[in-house]
Amino acid sequence: KRTVKDILEGYKKVLHHDITVQGWVRAFRSNRFIALNDGSTINNLQIVVDFENFDEAIIKQINTASSLKITGEVVESQGAGQTVEILAKKIVILGDNFSEELQKTILQPKKHSLEKLREEAHLRFRTNLFGAIFRVRSAVSFAIHEFFNKNQFFYIHTPIITGADAEGAGEMFGVTNFDLNNIPRDENGDIDFEQDFFARKTSLTVSGQLEAETAAMGLGRVYTFGPTFRAENSNTTRHLAEFWMVEPEVAFNNLEDNIDLAENFLKYVIKYVLENCKDDLEFLDKRFAEEQKQKPEKERAKEGLIEKLEKVAEKRFKRVSYTEAIEILMNSKENKKGKFQFPVEHWGTDLQSEHERFLVEKHFESPVVLFDYPKEIKAFYMRLNEDGKTVAAMDVLFPGIGEIIGGSQREERIDVLKQKMKEMHVDEDELWWYIDTRKFGSVPHAGFGLGLERLVLFVTGMTNIRDVIPFPRTPKSAEF
Ligand code: ATP
Ligand code: MG
Ligand code: MG
Ligand code: MG
């Protein structure tokens, strides 16, 4: 079966032949021209309907959103903007189309707000915008696998249901098979987890890192890429309760290797999209430009979407230590004039996204990799530096996004690890298996986590993370 994409790109092979194509109507002009789309590409295939040859009843039934199977001859197009069209000989209407209800949905051909499109997330796949976004999302995912495959990584699948909750304090979704109307309790009235399916407390994973680390201790280079869950109580445009995370973990790598890997990885994926999603990117680029025009001049992006991607794919990312970044922030005009919501007052404070975006968008005008953070504001497993004050952590910050990647070299020394766990009140018994890997041929290793949706936001020029995942889960919202 030929897709619309096959026909548009390979029409020379079928020119003047009869072929069959199926799709949905995007537009039906003058009862004569159907723009047909089947999702394979952003481009529509023009169908010319010589209505004298067709039953009027059929023609009348066709409207936007109709699903059709059309057989006809492939001819070169006379019209501007397209190379090929189909002269319809046979049209079959494939399914129901409730034309009155259609008028009330986002499939009615007019401009709808992104909010409205979100409310009908089950229908938005049919729009040009969401077709483009999800084709790009698919290409990004494929490029991720390709990058790791080419670099001798193994794709491992870390568990979705996990017993370890070391990292996710307060952000875990519990998992149980208890009947929630009849939860078993012990004599003290506490929930009796002994009677749970797993006979313990379990939750949905907030990161596959700890398990991926153990895999890297045997397989060398691994990555996990799967759904990740965090009960984020903040309602931001950068956080989802369910998102997809990519987490490579590499034995024998230090922090610098890890930063190199992150930079090469991001550039590879962006280049892949530039090369393989040209039509969709052009559409998104135009949309982006139109959106910029609506903004006050000061807030407009300086460059187009494609231009921005090409630049990021080429230029070396700026690498800056946390200490250096704090100096820059403390001495900035913005900080001195009280322009930040959270003033930067001393070494040791955690950076907020306003600070990250200042560094990237105003100060360096480049993606930035920050490294060597104070140990107090980072997780227990990050490797303690010689100074005893900082850890070998790194965050990659992108324009318009803020943090896109967070990673570190991991603490491979058992005594230091245990000491850190004690200081940070992480339960040693619960992570006995993690600690165990430091006992038998422990080696330096490093890895990072990338939120897939943040990268898709960046490459599509979209601004709300709810618009780059098919069915977003956010506080008070899991309709579909
Ligand atoms: P943030 O500071 O933005 O909350 P984080 O530091 O909590 O992120 P990490 O634990 O470092 O996040 O996770 C690694 C990556 O996963 C982040 O850099 C980001 O790209 C992505 N990520 C984290 N939380 C979310 C979320 N709730 N929704 C979507 N992506 C997320
Ligand atoms: Mg967070
Ligand atoms: Mg962070
Ligand atoms: Mg982080």
| Cα 102 to the center of its chain, rounded Å | 30
Residue 230 CA: nearest ligand 1 atom is: 27
Residue nearest to atom 11 of ligand 1 (CA): 406
Report the percent of the chain where pLDDT is more than 70.
99
Residue nearest to atom 31 of ligand 1 (CA): 451
Residue 363 has pLDDT above 80, yes or no: yes
Residue 455 CA: nearest ligand 1 atom is: 20
| Residue 301 tokens, joined | 């992006």
Residue 345 has pLDDT above 80, yes or no: yes
- Give the ligand whose atoms come closest to the C-alpha of residue 402: 1
> What is 2-41 written as a DSSP string?
--HHHHHHSGGGTTTSEEEEEEEEEEEETTTEEEEE-SS-
- The whole-number pLDDT of residue 164 equals 67
Residues forming a β-bridge with 397: 368, 403
CA of 8 to the centre of ligand 3 (A): 44
Choose among 277, 246, 297: nearest CA to 460: 277
Left, alpha or beta for 423 (phi > 0: left; psi -120 to 50: alpha)? alpha
Residue nearest to atom 6 of ligand 1 (CA): 406
Residue 404 Cβ contacting ligand 1 at under 6 Å: yes
Summarize the confidence of residues 12-20 as an average pLDDT: 94
282-338 pLDDT per residue, tens: 999 999 999 999 999 988 988 999 999 999 999 999 999 999 999 999 999 999 999
What three-state secondary structure class fits 47? strand
Residue 453 Cβ contacting ligand 1 at under 6 Å: yes
Residue nearest to atom 29 of ligand 1 (CA): 239
User: pLDDT band at residue 168, thresholds of 50, 70 and 90?
Assistant: low
Cβ atoms of 411 and 384 within 8 Å: the answer is: yes
Establish whether this prediction's ipTM goes over 0.90: yes
- The whole-number pLDDT of residue 51 equals 79
> What is 412-461 written as a DSSP string?
--HHHHHHHHHHTT--TTTTHHHHHTTTSS---EEEEEEEHHHHHHHHHT
- Give the ligand whose atoms come closest to the C-alpha of residue 238: 1
In whole angstroms, what is the distance from residue 6 CA to residue 41 CA? 9
Choose among 371, 376, 454, 435: nearest CA to 408: 371
Cβ atoms of 58 and 66 within 8 Å: the answer is: no
Residue 473 Cβ contacting ligand 1 at under 6 Å: no
Cβ atoms of 94 and 22 within 8 Å: the answer is: yes
Q: Hey, which of 349, 403, 404, 469 would you mutate to test ligand 1's pocket, going by the most ligand atoms within 8 Å of its Cβ?
A: 403
265-288 pLDDT per residue, tens: 999 999 999 999 999 999 999 999
| Residue 158 tokens, joined | 């870390």
Summarize the confidence of residues 223-252 as an average pLDDT: 96
Residue 212 has pLDDT above 70, yes or no: yes
- The whole-number pLDDT of residue 56 equals 87
- Give the ligand whose atoms come closest to the C-alpha of residue 225: 1
65-75 pLDDT per residue, tens: 999 999 999 99
